[in-house]
Structure 1
Amino acid sequence: MLRLTISAAGLAMAAVVAFAPAATADDGWGGADCGQVPVAGCDVSAGGGGGHNGGAVHLPGTGGDDDSAVGPDYSGCRWDKVDDYSEPGQPTTGGGWYLLTCLPDFQDGPFWVADAAPAPVSPRVLAETARNRLSLPRPSILASPAQNQLVNLPTWLWVDRGAWVPVSVTASVPGVSVTATARPTAVTWSMGDGTTVTCNGPGDPLLGGDPRAASPTCGHTFRRASERYPVTATIHWSVSWAGAGTGGTFPELTTSTTTAFRVVEIQALGAR
């Protein structure tokens, strides 16, 4: 029985055992498509002429002749692990012995199939995984006055402080851990009247003082009345990652909320 040691380097794709179409009914080997494999694959072609003992098993990329075989059409193949098989001088760990069986009556092996080491996961890939798991809060829109806004009276704008905190997620595999962190950097306000306001912070509430004073951090003054101004607050998040002795950045993320402001006019205020 022919035996072959299969290295992990040759196990890159799903196994296909390919035999040439039938030429004569008496040459021994046949065609088969093996879809069940115990490992991460290999291409195997069998050489023949004169039956099994005259053939060879060849794994592309591991050397050997690329012989073509002829024979009856086999309907399928499978790999069967042999748990109680061993050979002097052959490894006993890091893989296993397998028989190649093709219907109706072809079998070869056992073959030693080395365990393929898992491909290393790069820190960047882990960072992308962590970034995709970030759950960033949407802003709650707050304003003063709390109800109707007034023409020519400054509106103070801010988002709730709970949405203005860094958010981090860590992704890990054995031996490697990477953390992605999103930090709020600015809020863009689309005021619904054709103007946009960018604030480099969450803004501040009006706590006493002159209601005619403009917000020092984030605000807007409406010049025309409207029953419904659609107002959108968008938080911009910078995203960085660090781990495994390296790090980097991702394009910014955003979260948004939209509401409606009613703006009324009080003539006594006049234009400022």
Structure 2
Amino acid sequence: MPVNRSRRTVLGTSTAALALAASALILTAPNASAEPVDFGKGGGTDQQGGGDKQGIYAAARINYSGAVTKDGSTGNVTSSDVNWTPPPCWYAPYLGAKDFKKEMSKHIEGQLNTPGMTGTAGAAIGETKRHYEDEFGWTGAPGYKDYNLENDGKGMFWAGVENPNEPDYLKRSSCTDLPFWVENGDAPPPRYEEAITPEILAALAYQHMELPDTEVTLAPETNTKVNLPTWAWLDKAVFDEVQATAALNVPGFNIQATTTAKPVSLKLEPGTEDAETYPASGECTINADDSIGEPYAKGKANETPPCGVKYLRSSGNGTYKLQATITWEITWTGTGGAGDDLPNGTFGNDQDITVQEIQAVNR
């Protein structure tokens, strides 16, 4: 999602300086404590936004439900596409005109009265003041006379929100356009490609998704013998699809997306090169009844399992770590009938396996 940048120069103030002003106003505020459902910059007393003595920031609240982490952290799904990442930032509804004027004007005056705020940075703050007070638009969009108070209640100012789970500071702080007005029921202007959408919510639900710790059933369970096939399987009852939902509900703008993960295969990695897997690829596909593999039954000890492993060397005084990684097919659906595929996800568990030599008795 590329970030739009205006290339205009206003009264000799460079675009870089204007971006600096926007960054100072929106993205440098400290993080507030977040509840488990809060994602992005928190703060204030309502669900639409808030502020503090050091700055203003978007506090659009995204609510998560379903199979998601309880503390707002990144979930345990690893994308199979190394080039896919959740959005580092986005634009979302922030405040109505009256509340926005109160917070923004207070912050602007504080910046202008800061000792040393002169030169290019001071000029940029001054242009920001004119942008919201005198209808002077320097960002490539119309300005707002008296903070658009005449339309209070008819829409909201939108602002940049950082993804706190994005480790790259430059990426998560890249939504630096000044807050802009969107009428209730309208879509943001097309130039704001990072404006929040069901697709973005689906990606955030993916990022927060918590897949179950599914332990593969083994026979023998934890102790096996050299050259003895170990059967592995997952019953349908413990191997089902999971869903995570992300929703944004503010006056005049309500969207949501549900991301669904469906298990499709199991990959076995024995934890040593001295082993064989069944099938040879180690990839056990899902059966018609949504299970994987086949449960071991008495009398099958010397048969080849459809899903399993055979160790060729003893683990000695230690154990081998058998890694069972499940691949999940990820899709999403959202408001307005939107939906598509997301990259497959993987999640694996380790199981300690003791492999012993078969002891022969000589008489």
Q: How does 1:89-108 map to 2 (within 5 A)?
A: 94=154
> Sequence identity of aligned pairs in percent?
30
Superposed displacement of residue 199, structure 1:
0.9
Classify 1:212/1:176 alpha carbon distance in 2 versus 1 (closer, same or farther; 3 Å). same
User: Hey, what does 2:313 align to over in structure 1?
Assistant: 224
Give the letter aligned to residue 206 of structure 1.
Answer: Y
SS at match of 2:201: helix
Superposed displacement of residue 245, structure 1:
1.9
Superposed displacement of residue 117, structure 1:
3.4
Superposed displacement of residue 141, structure 1:
3.1
Matched, 1:208 2:298: yes
SS at match of 2:137: coil
Superposed displacement of residue 124, structure 1:
0.7
Is the 1:167–1:183 Cα contact (8 Å) retained in structure 2?
Answer: yes
Output the CA distance in 2 between the equivalents of 1:117 and 1:163. 47
SS at match of 1:43: helix
Classify 1:127/1:191 alpha carbon distance in 2 versus 1 (closer, same or farther; 3 Å). same
Output the CA distance in 1 between the equivalents of 2:342 and 2:235. 25
Superposed CA offset, 1:58-100 (max 9, x none): 43229xxxxxxxxxxxxxxxx99x9xxxxxxx889749xxxxx
Matched, 1:134 2:209: yes
Superposed CA offset, 1:124-164 (max 9, x none): 11212322332201221321112421112211012464541
Output the CA distance in 2 between the equivalents of 1:236 and 1:93. 47
Is the 2:232–2:294 Cα contact (8 Å) retained in structure 1?
Answer: yes
Superposed displacement of residue 33, structure 1:
10
Superposed displacement of residue 221, structure 1:
1.5
Output the CA distance in 2 between the equivalents of 1:225 and 1:170. 46
Give the letter aligned to residue 60 of structure 1.
Answer: F
Output the CA distance in 2 between the equivalents of 1:92 and 1:236. 49
Output the CA distance in 2 between the equivalents of 1:130 and 1:180. 6
User: Hey, what does 1:264 align to over in structure 2?
Assistant: 356
Output the CA distance in 2 between the equivalents of 1:122 and 1:224. 54
SS at match of 1:189: strand
Superposed CA offset, 1:169-219 (max 9, x none): 222335433211001111111102225622113322202233111212x01
Is the 2:268–2:308 Cα contact (8 Å) retained in structure 1?
Answer: no
Classify 1:189/1:44 alpha carbon distance in 2 versus 1 (closer, same or farther; 3 Å). same
Output the CA distance in 1 between the equivalents of 2:219 and 2:152. 76
Give the letter aligned to residue 349 of structure 2.
Answer: T
Give the letter aligned to residue 208 of structure 2.
Answer: R
Superposed displacement of residue 43, structure 1:
2.6
User: Hey, what does 1:247 align to over in structure 2?
Assistant: 339
Equivalent of residue 60 in structure 1, options 136, 141, 145: 136
Classify 1:162/1:221 alpha carbon distance in 2 versus 1 (closer, same or farther; 3 Å). same
Give the letter aligned to residue 214 of structure 2.
Answer: P
Classify 1:145/1:242 alpha carbon distance in 2 versus 1 (closer, same or farther; 3 Å). same
Which fold has the larger relative contact order, with Cα–Cα distance below 8 Å and residues 6 or more apart in sequence? 2
Which has the larger strand fraction? 1
Structure 1, unpaired ranges of 5+: 1-7, 20-30, 36-40, 46-56, 63-78, 83-89, 96-113
Output the CA distance in 1 between the equivalents of 2:299 and 2:137. 80
Q: For the aligned residues, what is the CA RMSD?
A: 4.1
Q: How does 1:168-183 map to 2 (within 5 A)?
A: 168-174=243-249, 175-183=254-262
Classify 1:189/1:42 alpha carbon distance in 2 versus 1 (closer, same or farther; 3 Å). same
Give the letter aligned to residue 213 of structure 1.
Answer: E
Give the letter aligned to residue 171 of structure 1.
Answer: A
SS at match of 1:226: coil
User: Hey, what does 2:270 align to over in structure 1?
Assistant: 191
Which has the larger helix fraction? 2
| TM-score (ref. length: structure 2) | 0.43
Classify 1:93/1:180 alpha carbon distance in 2 versus 1 (closer, same or farther; 3 Å). closer
SS at match of 2:202: helix
SS at match of 2:183: coil
Superposed CA offset, 1:108-132 (max 9, x none): xxxxxx9753657412112123223
Classify 1:164/1:93 alpha carbon distance in 2 versus 1 (closer, same or farther; 3 Å). closer
SS at match of 1:44: helix
Output the CA distance in 2 between the equivalents of 1:188 and 1:91. 57
Count matched residues: 189
User: Hey, what does 1:104 align to over in structure 2?
Assistant: none
Give the letter aligned to residue 176 of structure 1.
Answer: I
